[in-house]
Structure 1
Amino acid sequence: MTPSKDWMAIEDYVNDPSFEVGVNSFLDYAFQKLGTDNIRCPCCECVNGEFGEREKVRQHLIVYGVVKRYTFWFHHGERLEQEPQLVCDGDDGDDNIAEENENELDEMLGIIRDLYPECNNVGSSSNDSNLEEPNADAKRFYNLLKDSQDPVYEGCKSSRMYVLLKHLHIKTLGRWTNESFTMLLDFLKEDLLPKGSNLPKSYNKSKKVMKDLGLSYQKIDACVNDCIFYWKENEKLNACNICGASRWKSNKHNGEEKCKSNGKRIPQKTLRYFPLKPRLQKLFMCSKTASLMTWHHGKKKKDGTMRHPVDGTAWESFDTEHPNFASDPRNVRLGLASDGFQPFANSKTSYSIWPIILIPYNVPLELCMKQSNMFLSMLIPGPKGPGDAIDVYLQPLIEELKDLWEVGVETFDAATQRHFQLRAALMWTINDFPAYAMLSGWSTKGYLACPCCLRDTRSMRLPHGGKECYMRHHCYLPMNHRWRKNKKSFDGTVEREGPPQPSSIDDILNELKDLENIILSKDPSVKTKISHEVRGDNWNKKSIFFELPYWKTNLLRHNLDVMHIEKNICDSVLGTIMNIQGKTKDTLKSRHDLKDLGLRPTLHPIKVGDKWKMPPAPYTFFSSEKQKFCNFLKELKVPDGFSSNISYCVNSKEAKISGLKSHDCHVILEHLLPLAIRDLLTPLVREALIELSLFFTLLCAKVLNVDDLKQLESQIPITLCKLEKVFPPSFFDVMMHLPIHLANEAIMGGPVQFRWMYPIEQYMYKLKSYIRNRAHPEASIAEGYLAEECMNHCSRYMQSIETRFNRLDRNYENSQGHDDTLPIFSHSGRSLGAASVRDLEKGELDEAHIYILKNCDEVKPFLKQEN
């Protein structure tokens, strides 16, 4: 048991005999714990930096005194798991303050110990004969340990590290600018704290803590035309060896290279790369998250339900293909997400930044898609999106993923207190439809736009509309289905073919043989030309993901994004049934296409003089129906958090809807549309739209059933055929075709909540909020993310302040109720405003009495007596 430390606080240690008694008890404890002849000297002169024998250390302590902040004897054998220290009799001062200080120190030491587990015993046993210079990690460990013990100023109860981390945490939560944080530090240091306080003077100097915590990023220059990276063998080049473009920015007037104030030249493009290995290691080194990283092991449901990607066939197939990887549940499964965003709000400037985000799927389902569980892997700079050349920027990540697969990285597991070789694998990508083409290499435009059907995509070009339409969904029906012979209702042909068959991975790799090592560049003079007509397919490149040894064995390599599919389908449905100009698919050109195809003669355009007249269609509202539909959405009341206020998007006077966001479309398509049209439109149109709505409602459930998904997979072709029978061909763009594949992807990948873009879009909105300097948006995001990442890691340990991990929910309900009232009146919850008091009417009193008599257990004994 640790002896009392009260002697350390004695001011007049020279004349107080109890100080010498405390020194002797400390020395007895230290030599007993360490079992060595030499220990570190904690006197004010040596500050644990020098070793000495017992008598030497004793004399130093009596002469120079002890470092008062060294209350946790880490270098002398004390560990956090030990029993509490002995307390001397008598007045021990303010217990609450002492307990708070001890909690602060424990929080800081918890962070340090988890970050540098290999250094926990450094210096605990040393002799003069075997002293060694500390390595880099040990030096950082000692620096952090010193910061966790040094007071902000002499006599302060809080350490320098605690105060600094708390201020940085508040800065992150409050979204302070760097300048405002520097101003606060300057005010505290100059005007509030005593002279000689050791707080840093600026934000830049306080960032040293982040570096010691092991969080950083790399900057790699890139060709302005996205041809190459200036790294490895190209690191010293001054110009691109493919297109010849200069690596450096130049003055437009005189052509001279631009330089910073320190004389360094300024690159035209710079990728900011956040290494993956140290971030994965921290998940295991952190005692708060290490045990969560094996949550998925043994969690696969055997009742046919799916709640997590571990329940999907893709996860199971990967385990079967790679049993060695699957044998250790600590190996990490990752998802990769990417999309571009405009960093400047309300700006006409065309600018696109592309973040690459990684998501570990090992953790519990409620934490999986939280922002604290996402890693920013890289920031691809603007002002233009990378296009197919995104593979050039993905090189560092792919190289690191290959190393994590083949070799791994030695990692300390705080849950088992053992080192192990950590490995990781990429399961799939998450992206919208244009980004799907960039990452997969299959163009999502043209007559072969479907990346699932590939060469067997069924489409036709509309002569008047000038666009591809994707009909012929009756080919997915059973071969004996009567609709296969119905020419008039569909595209005018008898369907004798079966559904498209998925291409095998061998066939895909064979098609991609001639696309290896092609030049991906924005410079058209050097970019490799690809002709889809000559090739007979839509491949633009062989994706860089195929460099991963296991990628070809992945069952689901790229996910179709349900979020954007719902958004586009909802826009098409609402635009057509409400006849919204610019969004409706029912145009004069589409009516001419109907006439050329010989379909639905009642809808063919009629020429009246020099103009064409369009007969009313069964799939559009009449004016009264349109007004009724708008009033329904305008007056709708929903629970808090169910959706945004959709009424803001509805103009009931003009019967118009505009400005719907993706989630608004999600709510309307799945929940509101069936209610709003229940007595509108014709039965055929209403039935088809309600079935489409039901499909997405069941698909987006948080708990999926495999049998239900198989039923959805067989039902969606019928639903799309019903839509084909009433809507014009122009209605069926590629987005209306993609639902045919969604149920099968859910069987492979699990619930869509882990594979759609909603959490990614929210994360990118957060990245956008980091921008302070519009001249350097990428640098602003990188620095803001680094600070956020550092605080997220540290705040897991900081229970004494409000953090993202312990703050109350926005709609927090007090579940304790009120002990001083009857249980039937003691409900959980809290008021949203001031209470108002009034007398109950007689009818209300009678209702309350009846309710009490029927529901209150405390009344039952009295009722029995009466009876």
Structure 2
Amino acid sequence: MADRGWMYSGWKRGRPTNEWVEKTNEFLDRAYSIPELVESDTIKCPCAMCRNYFRHKRPKIELHLCHNGYKENYQTWTSHGERRENHEHVIGLEVQPEGFGETDRMDDMLVDLAGGHPPLDEETPTGFAEAFYRMAVSADERVHDQTLHSRLSTVARLLAIKSQYNLSVACYDNYVGLVHELLPPNSKIPQDFYRSKKLLEGLGMQYHKIDVCEKNCMLYYKDNKNKDTCDICGTSRYKDGSNKVPRKVLRYLPITDRLQRLYAHEGTAKLMRSHKEDHVARSTKMLHPCHGKAWKQFDDDFPDFAEDARNVRLGFATDGFTPYKLNAASYSCWPVFWVPYNLPPGVCMKPEYIFLAMVIPGPEHPGNKLSVLLQPMIDELLNLWAGVKTYDASVKRHFTMRASYLWSIHDFPAYGMFAGWSTHGIFACPQCMCEGNAYRLKKGLKATWFDCHRRFLPIDHPFRNKANAFRKGKTNMENNTTGNI
């Protein structure tokens, strides 16, 4: 089977020839004879639609090959047991071990992405599948004949540079235009930013723009989506002028797709169960949040949730920062992050596993209106608590993934906004509440907690009887009634 021109020329009058059918059966017999390629009686489908990214059983592969033919340039069966011994020599290009070209791992990324969205039963690809197939074609398509860079890897690098250096769309279009002038006329890089984004549409990482009242009173969301004025303060939704430009926009990035992507990769899917199956789960030391009281109490309260180790425990983090220079006008922007704590301690704190879920716009901090701005995230959490169908690449099966919110990470002022507890005055401590023994200074009336710590000492400690070492004329024989240290 050295001469494989039959793969593309073995059709006459729209039908496969006897030679094509015979050699296709030989190809499938050979592939199924290699145990490493077969999983649950399926192998990778080499048709022009699946392109070795989806797995099927033999009857469906035969049907796909008859309908779609083989993927282009597949004379070397790299996904069916063969190795590419002699790579094509490319003039003037040296492939670095950690560079792009054949080491950019774009194919691996697409295999993981395909695993997260197994093929549908219908033959015609729609929605995600259609965008994925367009992206898969670009992963195999070189920019031009004298480079190993694929169309997909090149566009991914260009968009990464744009994001890293905060380039405008016009700047991106201009330097892509210059790149086109430097490359041969038949180069296949998209001509502008719009076409570049369309190429990566198959990644499925969408975000939503939600208009917000200028005073954060309400979101133009769900039932309020088509309103033009705020129901609370009466402020117009749009700026003055004929164009409908919103005064303030909340950008929301759903986390469901990104949690599902964690299970699309076989290695990461196993890590998501490590808190229950790994040696860390059996440790007697505090090595993971699963050893904490909050995690264990949650498991006791919701045993049906704790039964499946793949259900996700999430941590929430938010705080304000100034995106401009300190000498510029004050502007407070609030990003919101989620952290999946199922992962091992050395993994879950890495930047790639901390998901940006929301960017709350300024210029002022949201204050007690923070709960209004978190509505889309709360709605998604309710859906995740009910469960979403997810594909687990480690076991090659679907399961119902659920997620719960366990912890919040923020500073004390942000705690007041998020939890609705005033962090000012003598009742600022959310643990001690009214039992904190704080008082106000006589002159400045500021709240102070000086000398509130002696009640935590043993009852016979000498500091308790000292009347002038702390507050003048005050001893403290009070017991710790809050239970906190």
1:438 corresponds in structure 2 to 417
The match for 1:496 among 472, 477, 483 is 477
Equivalence for 2:239 = 249
> Could you say if the C-alpha distance between residues 384 and 183 of structure 1 is closer, same or farther in structure 2, counting changes exceeding 3 Å?
same
**Alignment pair present for 1:280 and 2:271:** no
8 Å CA contact 2:214–2:247 kept in 1: the answer is yes
- Asked whether the 8 Å contact 2:131–2:202 carries over to 1, the reply is yes
The structure showing larger relative contact order (alpha-carbon pairs under 8 Å, at least 6 residues apart) is 1
Does 1:137 find its partner at 2:128? yes
Determine the structure 1 residue equivalent to 2:110. 112
Query: Counterparts of 2:161 and 2:2 in 1: how far apart (Å)?
Result: 35
1:133 is aligned with what amino acid? T
What is the identity, as a one-letter code, of the residue corresponding to 1:144? M
- Cα deviations across residues 545-585 of structure 1 (Å, max 9, x unaligned)? xxxxxxxxxxxxxxxxxxxxxxxxxxxxxxxxxxxxxxxxx
Distance 1:71 1:164 in 2: 27
1:69–1:150: 8 Å Cα contact kept in structure 2?
Answer: no
Tell me whether 1:201 sits opposite 2:191 in the alignment. Answer: yes
Is the CA contact (8 Å cut-off) linking 1:70 and 1:149 kept in structure 2? no
Q: Which residue of 2 aligns with 1:234?
A: 224
CA contact under 8 A between 1:356 and 1:379: conserved in structure 2?
yes
- Tell me what 1:354 maps to: 334
In the alignment, does 2:467 pair up with 1:469? no
Deviation, 1:145, is 2.0
1:4–1:86: 8 Å Cα contact kept in structure 2? no
With over 3 angstroms needed to count, the CA separation of the structure-2 counterparts of 1:273 and 1:102, relative to structure 1, is closer
Q: Does 1:305 align with 2:279?
A: no
The answer to whether the 8 A contact 1:151-1:159 is kept is: yes
Max Rg structure: 1
- Could you say if the C-alpha distance between residues 157 and 174 of structure 1 is closer, same or farther in structure 2, counting changes exceeding 3 Å? same
Q: Which residues in structure 2 correspond to 1:708-727 (within 5 Å)?
A: none
Shift of 1:273: 0.6
How far residue 98 of structure 1 moved from its aligned partner, in angstroms, is 11
Which residue, 415, 420, 424 being the options, matches 2:394? Answer: 415
Say whether 1:214 aligns with 2:204.
yes
**What 5-or-longer segments of structure 1 have no aligned partner?**
14-19, 43-50, 124-130, 251-256, 260-264, 503-740, 745-867
CA positional deviation for 1:203: 2.6
- Is 1:345 equivalent to 2:325 in the alignment? yes
Partner of residue 764, structure 1: none
Is 2:408 the partner of 1:429? yes
User: Aligned partners of 1:318, 1:422: CA distance in 2, in Å?
Assistant: 17
- The 5 A counterparts of 1:385-784 are 385-405=365-385, 407-471=386-450, 472-491=452-471, 492-501=473-482
* Structure 1 residues 218 and 185: CA distance shift in structure 2, 3 A: same
Identity within the alignment, %: 34
User: Is the contact between residue 317 and residue 408 of structure 2 (CA under 8 Å) also seen in structure 1?
Assistant: yes
Letter paired with 1:494: T
Q: How many residues align?
A: 450
1:404/1:424 contact within 8 Å kept? yes
Q: Aligned pair in 2 of structure 1 residues 8, 233: CA closer, same or farther (>3 Å)?
A: same
In 2 relative to 1, CA 98–220 (structure 1 residues): closer, same or farther, beyond 3 Å?
closer
Assess if the C-alpha contact under 8 Å between 1:4 and 1:85 holds in 2: no
Distance in 2 (alpha carbons) for counterparts of 1:476 and 1:53: 76
Opposite residue 292 of structure 2, the aligned amino acid is G
Paired residues of 1:239 and 1:247 also in contact (CA < 8 A): yes
Q: Matched residue of 2:266: which SS?
A: coil
The amino acid of 1:496's aligned partner reads: M
**Contact persistence 1:69–1:149 (CA under 8 A):** no
Alignment check: 8 A CA contact 1:105 1:148 kept: no
| Rounded Cα–Cα distance in structure 2 between residues aligned with 1:4 and 1:94 | 21
State the one-letter code of the partner of 2:218: I
Q: 1:422 to 1:487 in 2, by over 3 A?
A: same
The match for 1:327 is: 307
Report the alpha carbon displacement of residue 300 of structure 1 after superposing the two structures with TM: 4.9
Q: SS of 1:289's equivalent?
A: helix
Q: Would you say the 8 A contact 2:464–2:476 is kept in 1?
A: yes
Structure-1 separation of matches of 2:374 and 2:336 = 9
The 8 Å contact of residues 153 and 198 in structure 1, kept in 2 or not, is answered as yes
Offset from partner CA, 1:811-843 (integer Å, 9 cap, x none): xxxxxxxxxxxxxxxxxxxxxxxxxxxxxxxxx
Given that 2:216 and 2:366 are in contact with CA atoms closer than 8 Å, whether structure 1 keeps it comes out as yes
Judge conservation of contact 1:248–1:258 (CA < 8 Å) in 2: no
Contact in 2 for aligned 1:300/1:311 (Cα 8 Å): no
Q: 1:485 to 1:136 in 2, by over 3 A?
A: same
* Contact 1:147-1:159 at 8 Å conserved across structures: yes
Tell me the CA shift for residue 118 of structure 1.
7.0
- In structure 2, runs of 5+ residues without a counterpart are 11-16, 33-40, 49-59
Give distance in 1, aligned partners of 2:301 and 2:117: 38
Cα distance in 1 for residues equivalent to 2:138 and 2:427: 62
Name the amino acid aligned to 2:390: T
What is the alpha-carbon root mean square deviation over aligned residues?
A: 4.1
One-letter amino acid of the structure 1 residue matched with residue 125 of structure 2: P
Deviation at 1:372, TM superposition (A): 1.3
Deviation per residue, 1:656-709 (Å, 9 max, x gap): xxxxxxxxxxxxxxxxxxxxxxxxxxxxxxxxxxxxxxxxxxxxxxxxxxxxxx
Report the alpha carbon displacement of residue 438 of structure 1 after superposing the two structures with TM. Answer: 0.7
Counterpart for residue 610 of structure 1? none
CA distance in structure 2 between the aligned counterparts of 1:226 and 1:501, rounded to whole angstroms = 36
Task: Tell me which of 272, 275, 278 is aligned to 1:296.
Answer: 275
**Aligned partner letter, 2:461:** H
* 1:174 Cα deviation after fit: 6.5
Call closer, same or farther: CA 1:462–1:494 in 2, change over 3 Å.
same
Shift, 1:280, TM fit: 0.6
CA distance in 1, matches of 2:399, 2:321: 39
* TM-score normalised by the chain length of structure 2: 0.80
Change (3 A) 1:300 1:146: closer
TM-aligned CA distance change 1:92 to 1:347, over 3 Å: closer
**Inter-partner Cα distance in structure 2 for 1:225 and 1:147:** 45
AA at the equivalent of 1:432: D
Tell whether 2:215 aligns with 1:225: yes
| Structure-1 residue corresponding to 2:53 | none
Separation in 1, partners of 2:461, 2:381? 48
1:41-79 per-position Cα deviation (integer Å, ceiling 9, x unaligned): 86xxxxxxxx9999x98xx99xxxx97544576xxxx8x
The correspondence of residues 26-175 of structure 1 with structure 2, limited to 5 A, is 27-29=24-26, 69-70=73-74, 80=79, 82-85=80-83, 94=89, 104=102, 107-117=105-115, 132-153=123-144, 157-169=148-160, 171=162
Report the AA paired with residue 206 of structure 2. S
Deviation at 1:176, TM superposition (A): 5.7
Match of 2:13 in 1: none
Distance 1:370 1:117 in 2: 23
Q: Would you tell me which structure has more helix in proportion to its own residues?
A: 1
Deviation string 1:291-318 (CA, Å, 9 cap, x unpaired) is 2212222455667532322222111211
1 CA distance for matches of 2:308 and 2:101?
A: 35
Inter-CA distance 23–482: structure 2 relative to 1 (3 Å threshold): same
Structure-1 separation of matches of 2:22 and 2:327? 69
How far is the alpha carbon of 1:344 from its aligned partner? Answer: 0.8
Cα contact 2:314–2:340 (8 A) shared by 1: yes
Q: C-alpha separation between the residues in 2 aligned to 1:52 and 1:329?
A: 34
Question: Is the 8 Å Cα contact of residues 387 and 438 (structure 1) preserved in structure 2?
Answer: yes
Distance 1:162 1:8 in 2: 31
Classify the secondary structure of the residue corresponding to 1:220: strand
